[in-house]
Amino acid sequence: MNDKTASDSNAGERVAKHMARAGLCSRRDGERWIAEGRVKVDGKTIDTPAIIVDDPARISVDGNQLGKKSETQVWRYHKPPGLVTTHKDDLGRATVFQKMPQHLPRVISVGRLDLNTEGLLLMTNDGELARRLELPATGWKRKYRVRIFGYVDDEKLKTLAKGITVDGIHYGAIEASLEKRTGSNAWLSMTLSEGKNREIRKVLEHLGLKVSRLIRTEYGPFKLGNLTRGAVMEVSRKMLIDQLGVNFDEPGATAGVAKKTRGTGWAKAKPKPKAKTTLRDKARARAKEKLDEKLKEKRKAKFKSKPKPKPKTEAKTETKAETKAKPTPKPRLKKKS
């Protein structure tokens, strides 16, 4: 077996990475399977993940040939409460993967949701992509609606924007606002950038609030929307390319997703192309300019020809003093005949 280690050559990819890209498992699980002796290359068992292989068909796991990587796909899934986000549960509880439709290939979740948390959960058949989309380097925010029991202090909610430390664990900035209050219950809107284990429940419990319902509504550019509980819907390839900014047909395309999606994760709107100006449009613009000039000249001429109003003369009114000063005429006496 003439394979090279990661330090010897840049051609090809690590064995665990091939396994993750094929949707068989995550890269970490692949490394664990290699340590357990479940993976072979060219028929020989390997004991280190630092082996570069150019063709995934040379790899076999549990006696099954890995084969070529299938086309990368992503699905939106509305996880109901009461399901665990794992392939196997030691306690025998129902898992989200047991509820996947039969026609779907083997999928991996992008992150996890707690047992009693519901809402948007992304699924993909590309293990490497799943790992990349979980990293905080994407800058993608996770938005939740939270129903809580207890009195909500708006000032305390605002302090979460600076981050908070609970039981020695520091949580980054959290955007929290009150949506509505009904009696002793209230609905909050919370947005996280990290999404640590049970982060919302622990932070709100630290503030004296008890979470009675938790729904994830957004994960970066992907939204829950009107997806009903338990429903699965595939994300279009166009949206994947627009939001992730990578060509999935190229080998190792998902390796740079974290760098290319740095920021809010929302694709910037393309500027609208300028409309072409035709000869007819130019002629209309010139005619409008001439018409505007004529109207201005008419207004000026009308203003000049208008006669100036004569000043009003005030009527002379007699004061009470003047009327008193006038002598009253004496009555004439008639002569006796």
As annotated, the active-site residues are: 114
How far is Cα 328 from Cα 330, in angstroms, rounded to an integer?
7
Question: Which segments of 207-278 does DSSP mark as H helices, in order?
Answer: 237-244, 257-260
Would you give the DSSP letter of residue 157? H
Cβ neighbours for 164, distance < 8 A, ≥ 6 positions apart: 170, 171, 174, 203, 206
Q: What φ, ψ does residue 120 adopt, rounded to 5°?
A: -70, 125
- Pairing relationship of beta strands 210-219 and 222-223 according to DSSP bridges: antiparallel
Tell me which residue has tokens 């392939």: 87
Judge whether 216 and 200 are in contact, CB under 8 Å: no
Question: Which segments of the chain does DSSP mark as H helices, in order?
Answer: 15-21, 27-35, 127-134, 154-159, 199-206, 237-244, 257-260, 279-305, 320-325
Tell me which residue has tokens 């007699």: 318
How far is Cα 17 from Cα 254, in angstroms, rounded to an integer?
11
Q: What φ, ψ does residue 91 adopt, rounded to 5°?
A: -90, 0
Per DSSP, the three-state class of 313 is coil
Of the candidates 97, 96, 83, 112, the residue with the CA atom closest to the CA atom of residue 195: 112
